[in-house]
Structure 1
Amino acid sequence: MTADAFRNLIAQTRDKSFLVARRGIEKEGLRVSRDTHRISQLPHPTALGSALTHSAITTDYSEALLEFITGVHATPESALEELFHLHAYTSQSLPDEIIWSASMPGELEGEADIPIAHYGSSNIGTMKRVYRNGLGARYGRAMQAIAGIHYNFSLPETFWELSLAHSETTLSIKDWRTQGYLALIRNFQRRLWLLNFLTGSSPAVSRSFLAGQAPKHLVEGQSKTLMSRHATSLRMGDLGYTSSAQDGLQICYNQLETYIQTLTDAIVEPHEHYASLPPTSQGELLQLNHGLLQIENEFYSAIRPKRVTQSGEAPVRALRARGIEYVEVRCLDVNPFTPLGIDVDTTALVDTFVLSCLLEDSPLCTSHSRKIDNENNQRALNQGRSPSLRLLDDAGNEQTVVEASASILMSMEATAELLDSANQTSRHVEAVNAARSKIVGDEETYSARVVRELDEQSVDYSTLMGEYSKRWNRIFQDFALPLNARTQLADEAIASLRKQREIEKSDTSTFDAFLQAFYTQYH
């Protein structure tokens, strides 16, 4: 079905509830000392339950890197409310610590300052630990201390059923949905530069984050600070979630099977450098395998096709069996200027951006188109606010940011009107208008604000982010958490600790046998 046919169908359908998107939010944040802002060296607090089995509060790479996971919500307000409750409960459970409210960490005292997460003695807990050992060995721990926000987006099944019924295809609903999400992802990759421009908030970093000489595009700011004055997101650029070893991975989203096979090959085929690493370090296994990827999660991408997995099921196996269920947007920085790192305005922008990627025709990607997409994104990340920035069109011709964004914003505006109609609001059109203002310079981007406040206050990066972290912590500390929410989270913490003990008691195989059984899914 063409984009025009899609939009005509939507316009002719009176009840637009099939456009009410569903979203879940995963938000990361470091536990740091209330006074010194040093990364916590303490274990995951018992009051927060088990990081292995808790459904909403866990850890990412580091023992100190908290991750809050909301349920799936039909409104952004309810998703943000749940995230606020998780924040408040956690903050009120940390007597001497606060949650860092920025993507890039503050002052670091070397790699050893970043403790790797523990998940207990079970086989699955050991696997999670060894996977993180491997990440540290392959990329360094500092990179793994970066925090971000993952935004899980899906449309109701009625959307796919209605669109399939008005198409001429013979595809099953599973394959129709999967092809739709793949088309969304292809357009997302083409337009990614714009979303990074609008939501990036990490143009600066503590000098201690980098070992050795700083890259040429970074300049000295106030004491202990490096910045790129026109950058939008160092987190998504060459200082953050990137891997030169993965540059050769030609991930293509034209067919699901190709995507699955590429990831599978990267997991099962040995990588020369990783195969040369020692098998153990400090008495622990150093990595899960010798592949370019230990598991799918190691592939760094701005968006992923996802499917809820069963216990012990590999993600690619779930995708192959049941198709794509939702997409995970992974490029959002933690906005330091709002308590949760994300607000309702950003959710409106992301919802509009993502749905517009689905409602437009999506040409298949080629090696040429991938190069252009990657080049545009890197230019926007490193020099997004430079007046001299030029981006490439499909033919490789250069154009201004205003010119490059014009057709995208037109598509987003049409989508915003549909979303506002379906949700009885005006926030989606307002989000597109705000995006236009940021592109022409009438409104300040988050990244521009970071640079401006660093200059105006003559402070270093860690001091500025620390002050915002303390400000938001006071809000969470003073919040009267509803009794039912507090009770539910306290009960979940106790239940998760019990569940972890039960998993550890029920293990009957050795870890080697467990790991071998897991990897048979890729063969």
Structure 2
Amino acid sequence: MTVDSTCFNERLSALQTPAFLSALTQIKRGVEREALRIKPSGALSQSPHPKALGAALTHDTITTDFSESLLEFITPPESKTSTTIEQLQDIHRYVIDNIGDEQIWPLSMPCFIEDEAHIPIAYFGESNVGKMKRVYRIGLKNRYGSMMQAIAGVHFNFSLPDTFWKLWADLNGETYSQDQTSKDYFSLIRNYRRFCWLIPFLYGASPALCGSFLKGKEHALPFKKVGKGTYYMPYATSLRMSDLGYTSAEQSSLKICYNQLDNYVRLLREAMETPSTRFSQFAAGEEGNYQQLSRNILQIENELYSPIRPKQPTQSTEKPTDALVKRGINYIEVRALDVNPYSAVGISQTQFDFLDVFLLTCLLMPSAELDEVQLNEAKDNMNRVVLEGRKPDLMLNCGQQEISMAQWCETLFEQFKQVAAVLDKAHDTTRYVDAVSSEWEKVIDPAKAPSGQLLNELIVNDKDNGIFGLELAEQYQASMKAFNYVHTDAEGFEKAAEQSLKAQADVEQADSVDFDSFIKSYFNEPPAKKNA
């Protein structure tokens, strides 16, 4: 694999100026951690979202994803990763203290679920916005099945400060603007797409799954069995990211472009306006019957399954594409992370540090536009790694040439080391170089990757995934109860819960039109144009 080292080295050198080093200390990160609530037996909780946790519709940090049982914890953008980890610990402590004898499932792939009809769809109250969220989820159930929606992941949000983007524009002979910043974020995103096979290799932790997940699914994967009913693939890293998991055949035909913001938005909007043959069987509001929000390929933008998304915070009822058009990219959301089963909060400090290095390297490297062949190559590489990432001598495609994954890793890690040294210099630490060294150990010995450790535990002990998950859930329940509140204490969370319940009631009270009219208005509103 060849890299334009001149461009990379020049940019790397520029980053070592005092102004750039200062800007690098202002990188902000946030986390969205998903986790199922389970009963002590290991079965999925059937109880509603606990009132002590507040209203899922309006709570800033504790909400639900697809199911009433699928919690989602959200941290705000912070420049210190230690702060984010402490915030996650605060949330976990409060939640574990307020869900009775229930526990938090520590794996990405769901616990034993006898029937997907037993996965309760999230309820957000009786407001139009709340109903829309629920109908969207009913649509997901009808389109893809509830079992797929019970998979949990961790999303890592990353943004560089305006001070950095101003310096970056000057360095590259560009004029600083929001348009230019969005363009640069897309450069980063394209390289992320090229190299993101590395994420499931390093952090994939779903090489095995409960047999109940496969019920009724057609597949041709050569599974082996361990324990009483756990199925695994010997070299798999992240079945969550495979065709069995969080992907969609209907979307595979979409050619979403990551070259320019306007094209990305146009193609997303087209997908939301293009009727789907497969999904046309479900009602979309006819005579008040809502089995989905629309009969189109995508109901809304969030239905697009992608390992990364460009994001701009939305205002009330604003479409994500409209927010991007009006205000450009504010941050990127990395979506390829499995829940880390070796961390009580689902992600570790080392992961934060390595992801900083990885994403900054993606920006520093030259990033030509992606054509359809290259995008398909990236998808194929991802698929190979999620199914066989720890296979010795695994080959990947790079520029229509085969290259061993180990050789490609060697090239990338040489650059990671250099970028880590700059981040260490900016933060006056050795954390970044240490994180790169730690991840390199997995390249040398893939058995040290989480997928390797987890699978070894199951095979050596002839243990089921469910037993392993339950053991960790019990262990982490004790860990969470021992967390000391740092940023928000129990009283603060109780107050936030009360405020969110009141806010939900206010939203319901403020509705002035019926749900049919609300939905028609939402979808009929003309798409936003720049500077509109």
TM-score grouping bracket, smaller chain normalisation: over 0.9
CA distance in 2, matches of 1:325, 1:482: 28
Match of 1:380 in 2: 385
3-state SS, counterpart of residue 399 of structure 1: strand
Q: How does 1:340-379 map to 2 (within 5 A)?
A: 340-379=345-384
TM-score normalized with structure 1 length: 0.96
Q: Which amino acid aligns with 2:32?
A: E
Q: Which of 27, 30, 38 is 2:36 aligned to?
A: 30
**Number of the residue aligned with 1:499:** 503
Q: Which amino acid aligns with 1:436?
A: W
Greater Cα shift, 438-447 or 467-476: 438-447
Structure 1 pair 482–434 and aligned structure 2 pair: CA distance change class (3 A): closer
Partner of 2:277: 272
Q: For 1:241, which of 246, 252, 272 is the aligned residue?
A: 246
> 1:133 maps to which residue?
138
- 2:38 partner letter: V
1:210 to 214, 227, 239: 214
In the TM superposition, 1:426-441 aligns within 5 A as 426-441=430-445
- 8 Å CA contact retained: 1:22, 1:154: yes
RMSD of Structure 2 on Structure 1 (CA) = 1.8
Structure 2 match to 1:518: 522
Match of 2:438, SS state, is helix
Q: What is the Cα deviation at residue 477 of structure 1? A: 2.1
Distance 1:521 1:418, change over 3 A: farther
1:477-488 equivalences in 2 (<5 Å): 477-481=481-485, 485-488=489-492
Deviates more, 1:213-222 or 1:329-338: 213-222
Instruction: Quote the Cα distance in structure 2 between the aligned partners of 1:79 and 1:479.
Output: 14
Matched, 1:408 2:417: no
Q: Deviation at 1:183? A: 0.3
Aligned residue number for residue 316 of structure 1: 321
Residue type matched to 1:10 in 2? L
* Equivalent AA in structure 2 for residue 504 of structure 1: E
The equivalent of 1:223 in structure 2 is 228
Matched-pair contact (CA < 8 Å) for 1:88–1:479: yes
Aligned equivalent of 1:471, options 468, 475, 478: 475
Amino acid of the structure 2 residue aligned with 1:265: E
- 1:144 corresponds to which letter in structure 2? Q
Conserved 8 A contact 2:73-2:91: yes
Distance 1:328 1:334 in 2: 15
CA distance in 1: counterparts of 2:219 and 2:243, whole angstroms: 12
- Report how far residue 459 of structure 1 moved: 1.2
| 1:484 positional shift | 5.0
Give the Cα separation in 1 of the matches to 2:269 and 2:422: 39
Please state whether the residue corresponding to 1:24 is helix, strand or coil. Answer: strand
Match of 1:444 among 440, 444, 448: 448
Q: Return the offset for 1:252.
A: 1.2
CA deviation vs aligned residue, 1:91-112 (integer Å, no higher than 9, x gap): 0001120010110011111111
Q: Is the 8 A contact 1:437 1:443 kept in 2?
A: no
**1:185 and 2:196 are equivalent in the alignment:** no
Structure 1 portions without partners, runs of 5+: none
> Deviation at 1:433?
1.3
Residues 27-60 of structure 1: CA deviation (Å, up to 9, x unaligned): 00000002x1111110000000000000000000
Q: Measured at CA, do residues 270 and 522 of structure 1 come closer, stay the same or move farther in structure 2, by a change above 3 Å?
A: farther
Q: Which sits farther off after the overlay, 218-227 or 128-137? A: 218-227
Q: Match of 1:25, SS?
A: strand
Matched pairs, number: 520
1:172 & 1:469 partners in 2: Cα distance? 48
C-alpha distance after superposition, 1:59-110 (max 9, x if no partner): 0000000000001111111001000100110000011200101100111111
Q: Name which of structure 1's ranges 77-86 and 449-458 shifts more when overlaid on structure 2.
A: 449-458
Partner of 2:457: 453
Decide which moves more: 133-142 or 343-352.
Answer: 343-352
User: Counterparts of 2:284 and 2:258 in 1: how far apart (Å)?
Assistant: 34
Q: Which runs of 5+ in 2 are unaligned?
A: 1-5, 528-532
- Contact kept, 8 Å, 1:314 with 1:521, in 2: the verdict is no
2:115 counterpart of 1:110 = yes
Partner AA of 1:277 in structure 2? F
C-alpha distance in 2 between matches for 1:265 and 1:144: 24
| Aligned-residue offset at 1:407 | 2.0
Q: CA deviation at 1:172?
A: 4.5
- State the secondary structure of the residue aligned to 1:226: strand
2:65 to 60, 64, 75: 60
- The 5 A counterparts of 1:64-143 are 64-143=69-148
Alignment of 1:145-160 (within 5 A): 145-160=150-165
Which of 417, 424, 431 is the matching residue for 1:420? 424
CA distance in structure 2 between the aligned counterparts of 1:443 and 1:110, rounded to whole angstroms: 34
Pick from 315, 328, 335: which aligns with 2:333? 328
Q: Which moved more, 1:290-299 or 1:385-394?
A: 385-394
Shift of 1:361: 0.7
